[in-house]
Chain A
Amino acid sequence: MIVRLAAALLTAMMLMTGTVRAQPAGDESIRPFKVEVPEREVAELRRRIRETRWADRETVGDNSQGLRLAELQEIMRHWGGAYDWREAEAKLNALPQFVTRIDGLDIHFIHVRSRHRGALPLIVTHGWPGSVFEQIKLIGPLTDPTAHGGRAEDAFDLVIPSIPGFGFSGKPAAAGWNIERIARAWAVLMKRLGYSRYVAQGGDWGAAVAGAMARQAPPGLLGIHVNLPAAQPPEIAAAIAAGSPPPPGLSANELAAFEALKSFFQKSRAYAAMMGTKPQVVGAALADSPAGLAAFTFDYNRQEPLRLLDRDEFLDSVTLYWLTNSAASAARLYWEEGGRSVTNSAGQKTGEISLPVAVTIFPEEVYRAPESWVRRAYRNLIYFHEVDKGGHFAAWGEPELLAAELRAAFKKLR
């Protein structure tokens, strides 16, 4: 039965149809969802890619001015040519997807139950510039561990929601959908799914959501795992903001983290500053230019998508932003957070977390949080491990490794 979505979602999804019924307020039903983008939308994207008007080439021989013209042109040739959105759509539609209304907004999520009894329910949250595409390679290893080198007692039931304003979740029509509110919505979602004992995980904004959930400590939440800890101590953040030298007495690890954070602050935070203060400006530019959208997202974390991810898999997500017209609505999350950094322990109020916290450090992350800082930030740290490969998009780039980390991290909480 294919019917039109509720009006708000309809707008949000640009006339995509899904197997969803319009729903009265207060309805807590969980409705199945399928992605079905009209062909004209896909054709329109290709047309715009073909008709890109290019900027001049950079004046340097490296990527220090941003994504290089030749690299972007290569991406765009592929995106407008061999790349096939229908394959991405099929990947999503092979998974059980649902929509349910929470706090006035339709929330899209993937929900895969393990066939193993006693599986631990886990809600995993993506970040920016990601989407639920980030996490789908975790589904096999986590829900079906015996097929992926694990044991039945490692099994998870997995919930992967789209953040409001991202992908197939509704776009907030009023201000106020900040991290705190998303975290509360996720607790409602888990309860609605019938889970009374569960854990939460994330990197990027997902780490902030997991952290907020841990602070809120809703009934049933046992603990969290993050792969981007909010471990930057206040004195480090202050020194970097003031352009001061590192405080005396830092260890080698701490000094390396200081330098990484300083470099990020001085050279790479602009995207976040833009979205934090002018999401509509970013939105106006990226909503109307596929090349602009691709450049802005591929450039993330010293162009990690080019260095560490499968290009097609990243394009799945970029295409999702395009088709759901999410550049502005996703950018607004930065505005809602008012410039609060996800790496900053004070900003993320980690001192208020008493639930168990597990942390995995991936070497190519924006910064490698030293254990000393992580212990200071999270007083109930139950797991800390530094792995030898992977970056900011850990679930995307190293799904088996992250799955192994989650098994180990949550063992004590089962």
Chain B
Amino acid sequence: MSLLRSQSGRRDFLVTSALAGALGTLLPAAAQAGTPPAGTATAAAPAAQAETPFAGAATVGAAALGQHPARDPSIRPFRFQASDEALDDLKRRIAATKWPSRELVPDASQGVQLATMQKLARYWEGDYDWRKFERRLNTLPQFVTEIDGLDIHFIHVRSRHPNALPIIITHGWPGSIVEMLKIVDPLTNPTAHGGSAADAFDVVIPSMPGYGFSEQPAELGWEPVRIARAWTMLMKRLGYSRYVTQGGDWGDPISEQMALLAPSEVLAVHTNMPAAVPPEILKAAQSDSPPPEGLGADERRAYDQLRFFFTKGLSYALQMAGRPQTMYALDDSPIGLAAWLLDHDARSYELIARAFDGEKEGLSRDDVLDNVTLYWLTNTGVSSSRLYWENKLPFFAPFGLKAPVAVSAFPDELYQAPRSWAEKAFPNLIHYNRLEKGGHFAAWEQPELFTKELRAAFRSVR
């Protein structure tokens, strides 16, 4: 059965649910093209597809593919509801996990630790509630629109304050829109979060192609520059002609490239993982060389972080850049997927491990599992990996941006960009701050600090 299942499921679901949303809820399923009832977007018919018990998001509906014309510029409301079958199947798989033997070291130097993964599994299977997250997500206005042949999912929240500054915030890997939910209200509704009306943003948070509820590219070429171009179209379609961009991880090159592609529209860029490493430093770190002469203390620390990344931390990226398809395990094993997503970088893994030890700091267990479960339900372990294969841009090397750029340098990021490098990479540096705490998932870990940073960063361009 599952061996022979069609691979077209997720696209079908996305189109269907979005269309159903556009048509209004509770449209009789039979009205939708005569295929098995897909239900509606607001109540996504759990048993409708029943072809596989674990179909979940992947095969909720096959009805409406092709029902909206290509190049349809419409913006369709979107809601998501996983099927009970998909959630039951997930728990069944977690319970049936076949575990590897324990690591031979007392730390995380061999990767995710068995005890942490087993705590995660117990919580995921026993206590974690996806529905809670789903309800929270569905309180936000979500949409799908077709850009460059692909359905792009996004959250779009307009501030009630006039003259709010439009901002498009891009997640990375192994993140998703889940990373950004905590900053939506502080940014759009600043007066309720210690800010003034003048701090308000209209917020757009898209899912990258192949991630979450955005469509999986079926053709080649969806690399970061193409995504950046799609985002400029998205902002135009939403009626924004002057806006700012924000990102870390993949969100950084996308946000920076947008400024290159649409210089008259992008007023400024904020990045929490800047492409700002001088070429000679990058080369030295990549070849595991001792630090170059004459580095200041901040530069030396950043160099050591980069060297660690390139020698010990890069392998996941190599795998996804070289052989993304071979990682079938990610879409077949919830724990395999969780291990892969948890082990992005040493500091964020430590933070997550502490969360599963019961410490309340930065990320919660639910935060982590909301994100992992989103990857699982959308079956995007492999499809998200292909972005590394598609990517042609170097990691961390400056793109020659002349636009105004703001940098927030968090200490536990892959590298904490020193001011000197940021000044060199961005001649028009409008904001630079070194934070006391926070890491790779800054918006997720430190939403208050992050919000303050964005307010301060863009004050001068409003």
B353 to chain A, nearest CB (A): 12
Q: Nearest CB to that of B319 among chain A residues?
A: A270
A277 to chain B, nearest CB (A): 5
A292 to chain B, nearest CB (A): 2
B110 touches A332 (CB 8 A): yes
Q: Which residues of B contact A284 (CB under 8 A)?
A: 99-100, 111-112, 117, 333, 335-336, 338-340
Q: Which residues of B contact A335 (CB under 8 A)?
A: 110
B325 touches A286 (CB 8 A): no
B2 touches A274 (CB 8 A): no
B119 to chain A, nearest CB (A): 13
Q: Take A55-B383, A56-B7, A273-B318 as given contacts and tell me if A66 and B326 are in contact as well, using a CB distance cutoff of 8 Å.
A: yes
Q: Can you list 25 contacts pairing A with B, beta carbon distance less than 8 Å?
A: A51-B54, A54-B2, A59-B219, A59-B386, A65-B323, A67-B325, A68-B325, A69-B7, A80-B3, A268-B323, A270-B318, A273-B314, A273-B315, A284-B335, A284-B336, A285-B333, A286-B336, A288-B99, A288-B332, A289-B329, A289-B333, A291-B329, A295-B327, A329-B100, A329-B101
Q: How large is the interface on A (under 10, 10 to 19, 20 to 34, 35 or more residues)?
A: 35 or more
Q: Which residues of B contact A68 (CB under 8 A)?
A: 325
Tell me the bound Cα distance from A60 to B221 in angstroms. 11
Tell me the bound Cα distance from A120 to B335 in angstroms. 48
- A window 321-379: CB within 8 A of B: 325, 327-329, 332, 335, 339
A59 touches B220 (CB 8 A): yes
> Which of B7, B97, B220, B322 contacts A288, CB < 8 Å?
B97
A316 interface residue per 8 A CB criterion: no
A147 interface residue per 8 A CB criterion: no
Task: Mark A3-19 against chain B: 1 for CB-CB distance below 8 A, else 0.
Answer: 00000000110000000
Q: Which residues of B contact A286 (CB under 8 A)?
A: 100, 329, 336
Q: Which residues of A contact B340 (CB under 8 A)?
A: 281, 284-285
Binds B, one of A71-79, A184-192, A226-234: A71-79
> Which of B113, B217, B321, B326 contacts A295, CB < 8 Å?
B326
A391 to chain B, nearest CB (A): 18
Tell me the bound Cα distance from A328 to B112 in angstroms. 12
> Which of A175, A271, A285, A325 contacts B104, CB < 8 Å?
A175
Task: Mark B320-349 against chain A: 1 for CB-CB distance below 8 A, else 0.
Answer: 111111111111110111111001000000
A305 interface residue per 8 A CB criterion: no
A40 interface residue per 8 A CB criterion: no
Q: Take A60-B220, A288-B335, A289-B328 as given contacts and tell me if A267 and B322 are in contact as well, using a CB distance cutoff of 8 Å.
A: yes
Q: Which residues of B contact A283 (CB under 8 A)?
A: 100-101, 111
Tell me the bound Cα distance from A325 to B114 in angstroms. 14
> Which of A57, A60, A73, A292 contacts B329, CB < 8 Å?
A292
Apart from A50-B3, A274-B316, A292-B327, what are 8 other A-B pairs with CB-CB below 8 Å? A57-B7, A65-B323, A66-B325, A67-B325, A242-B283, A277-B312, A284-B335, A288-B333
Q: Which residues of B contact A280 (CB under 8 A)?
A: 100, 103, 110-114, 339
A52 touches B319 (CB 8 A): no
B343 touches A55 (CB 8 A): no
Tell me the bound Cα distance from A287 to B7 in angstroms. 25
Tell me the bound Cα distance from A288 to B443 in angstroms. 32
A329 to chain B, nearest CB (A): 5
A15 to chain B, nearest CB (A): 13
B101 touches A292 (CB 8 A): no
Chain B CB count within 10 A is highest, among A54, A72, A287, A325, for A54
Binds B, one of A24-32, A127-135, A166-174, A214-222: A166-174
A390 to chain B, nearest CB (A): 24
Q: Nearest CB to that of A290 among chain B residues?
A: B332
B43 to chain A, nearest CB (A): 24
A70 to chain B, nearest CB (A): 10
Q: Nearest CB to that of A328 among chain B residues?
A: B100
- A window 64-120: CB within 8 A of B: 65-69, 72-73, 76-77, 80
A121 interface residue per 8 A CB criterion: no
Tell me the bound Cα distance from A53 to B220 in angstroms. 24
> Which of B113, B336, B338 contacts A292, CB < 8 Å?
B336
Task: Mark A286-318 against chain B: 1 for CB-CB distance below 8 A, else 0.
Answer: 111101110110010000000000000000000
What is the number of residues of chain B that contact chain A, defined by CB distance less than 8 Å?
64
Q: Take A50-B3, A270-B315, A276-B315 as given contacts and tell me if A328 and B101 are in contact as well, using a CB distance cutoff of 8 Å.
A: yes
A54 touches B7 (CB 8 A): yes
B297 interface residue per 8 A CB criterion: no
Q: Which residues of A contact B99 (CB under 8 A)?
A: 284, 287-288
A99 to chain B, nearest CB (A): 18
B71 interface residue per 8 A CB criterion: no
B272 interface residue per 8 A CB criterion: no
B101 touches A268 (CB 8 A): no
Tell me the bound Cα distance from A11 to B381 in angstroms. 31
B5 interface residue per 8 A CB criterion: yes
Q: Nearest CB to that of A76 among chain B residues?
A: B3
Q: Which residues of A contact B110 (CB under 8 A)?
A: 278-280, 332, 335
Tell me the bound Cα distance from A291 to B330 in angstroms. 10
Q: Nearest CB to that of B210 among chain A residues?
A: A56
- B window 163-200: CB within 8 A of A: none
Q: Take A59-B219, A284-B100 as given contacts and tell me if A271 and B339 are in contact as well, using a CB distance cutoff of 8 Å.
A: no
Q: Which residues of A contact B219 (CB under 8 A)?
A: 59
A269 interface residue per 8 A CB criterion: yes
A278 touches B331 (CB 8 A): no
A299 touches B111 (CB 8 A): no
A296 touches B98 (CB 8 A): no
B290 to chain A, nearest CB (A): 15
B218 interface residue per 8 A CB criterion: yes
Tell me the bound Cα distance from A271 to B320 in angstroms. 10
Q: Which residues of B contact A77 (CB under 8 A)?
A: 3
A387 interface residue per 8 A CB criterion: no
B351 to chain A, nearest CB (A): 17
Q: Which residues of B contact A266 (CB under 8 A)?
A: 322
Chain B CB count within 10 A is highest, among A68, A271, A288, for A288
The 6 A-B pairs of least Cβ separation, nearest first, read A292-B329, A285-B336, A66-B325, A66-B326, A328-B100, A283-B100
A86 to chain B, nearest CB (A): 21
Q: Which residues of A contact B422 (CB under 8 A)?
A: none
Tell me the bound Cα distance from A315 to B57 in angstroms. 32
B323 touches A299 (CB 8 A): yes
B382 touches A55 (CB 8 A): yes
B216 interface residue per 8 A CB criterion: yes
Tell me the bound Cα distance from A65 to B10 in angstroms. 20
Q: Which residues of A contact B336 (CB under 8 A)?
A: 284-289, 292
> Which of A80, A241, A276, A292 contacts B328, CB < 8 Å?
A292
> Which of B7, B111, B283, B337 contacts A282, CB < 8 Å?
B111
A285 touches B325 (CB 8 A): no
Q: Which residues of A contact B313 (CB under 8 A)?
A: 277
Chain A CB count within 10 A is highest, among B283, B314, B329, B386, for B329
A291 to chain B, nearest CB (A): 5
Tell me the bound Cα distance from A258 to B91 in angstroms. 49
Task: Mark B1-14 against chain A: 1 for CB-CB distance below 8 A, else 0.
Answer: 11111010010000
